[in-house]
């Protein structure tokens, strides 16, 4: 499967639960970009950890570094001893390995559904760990693809946030904030996991494949409608 068809898997996962998830699309905060994050304000609000989306939040689609216009704030947050950090991305394996090189200091979580239950790959410091009851179904990274019985687990699966929080040793999800550019993946996963969330505008929309861009436009309009009708909340 090519890297550009991941949105199909996301759509397959999201559509059946579309209406229920539509009601969980309200972020805790809306910001234009991560450059507007105020570390002091978040620390005062009890935030101890950031769970980051990557593409469209920290950089252009599939770029190889945090965008220079965002790097100063991102690096400042990484260096702030008040916060821990992890990454949860809906990417595929080649991009996952690439993210490990871009963010060697952060745990990066990727999820799968297997016949034995959920399984997770966590990449940190160049070392991969496999977790969860289905982990035996995942070949070691770089040694081949899993069989057809293994399917990606993508945001908005709350388990991805749970595993990320476990990796950084935070047992209170409400003290974590998910930062992302997509309502139906990033914000809903935060709400389902009981975390707080910051919705940023998609960074560099023209860098995304056409279908992803169309879905982003649709998503924005739909969530705006849900909000206008008073139907979008962060709670259940
Ligand atoms: Mg994104």
Tell me what the mean pLDDT of segment 134-144 comes to.
88
What is the distance in A from the centroid of ligand 1 to the CA of 3?
14
Predicted confidence (pLDDT) at residue 101 exceeds the cutoff of 80: yes
The residues near 13 (Cβ < 8 Å, ≥ 6 apart) are 154, 156, 157
Q: pLDDT value at position 19?
A: 83
Question: pLDDT at residue 3 above 80?
Answer: no
Take residue 9 and report the two structure tokens written for it.
């898997």
Instruction: Tell me the pLDDT band of 4, cut-offs 50, 70 and 90.
Output: low
Residue-wise over 41-74: b if at least 16 C-beta within 10 A, else e? ebeeeebbbbbbbbbbbbbbbbbeebbeebeebb
Cα 170 to middle of ligand 1, angstroms: 23
Distance 131 CA to ligand 1 centre (A): 24
pTM: predicted TM-score of the whole model, two decimal places: 0.90
Query: Tokens standing for 54?
Result: 């990557």
SS (H, E, C) the chain: CCHHHHHHHHHHHHHHHHHHHHCCCCCCEEECCHHHCCHHHHHHCCCCEEEECCECCCECCCCCCCCHHHHHHHHHHHHCCCCEEEEECCCCHHHHHHHHHHCCCCCEEEEEEECCEEEEEEEECCEEEEECCCHHHCCCCCCCCCCCCCEEECCCCHHHHHHHHHHCCCCCHHHEEEEECCHHHHHHHHHHHCCEEEEECCCCHHHCCHHHHHHHHHHHHHHHHHHHCCCCCCCC
Longest Cα separation, the chain = 50
122: closest CA among 164, 151, 152?
164
Going from the Cα of 115 to the center of ligand 1, the distance in angstroms, rounded, reads: 28
Q: What is the pLDDT of residue 43?
A: 98
| Distance from the alpha carbon of residue 202 to the mean position of ligand 1, in angstroms | 7
Cα 67 to chain center, whole Å? 17
192-232 pLDDT per residue, tens: 999 999 999 999 999 999 999 999 999 999 999 998 998 88
The Å distance, Cα 162 to ligand 1 centre, comes to 19
């Amino acid at each position: 499967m090519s890297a550009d068809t991941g949105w199909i898997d996301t759509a397959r996962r999201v559509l059946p639960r579309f209406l229920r998830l539509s009601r969980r699309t309200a972020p805790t905060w809306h910001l234009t970009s991560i450059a507007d994050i105020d570390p002091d304000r978040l620390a005062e609000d009890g935030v101890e950890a950031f769970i980051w989306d990557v593409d469209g939040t920290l950089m252009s689609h599939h770029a190889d570094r945090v965008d220079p216009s965002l790097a100063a704030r991102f690096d400042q947050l990484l260096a702030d001893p008040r916060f821990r950090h992890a990454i949860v991305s809906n990417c595929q394996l080649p991009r996952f390995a690439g993210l490990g090189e871009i963010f060697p200091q952060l745990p990066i979580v990727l999820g799968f559904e297997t016949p034995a239950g959920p399984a997770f790959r966590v990449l940190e410091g160049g070392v991969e760990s496999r977790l969860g009851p289905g982990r035996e179904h995942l070949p070691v990274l770089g040694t081949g693809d899993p069989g057809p019985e293994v399917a990606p687990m993508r945001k908005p699966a709350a388990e991805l946030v749970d595993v990320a929080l476990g990796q950084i040793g935070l047992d209170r999800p409400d003290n974590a904030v998910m930062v992302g550019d997509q309502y139906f993946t990033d914000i809903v996963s935060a709400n389902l996991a009981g975390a707080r969330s910051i919705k940023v505008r998609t960074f560099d929309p023209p860098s995304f494949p056409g279908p992803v861009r169309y879905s982003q436009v649709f998503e924005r309009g739909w969530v705006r409608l849900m909000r206008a009708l008073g139907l979008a909340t962060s709670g259940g």
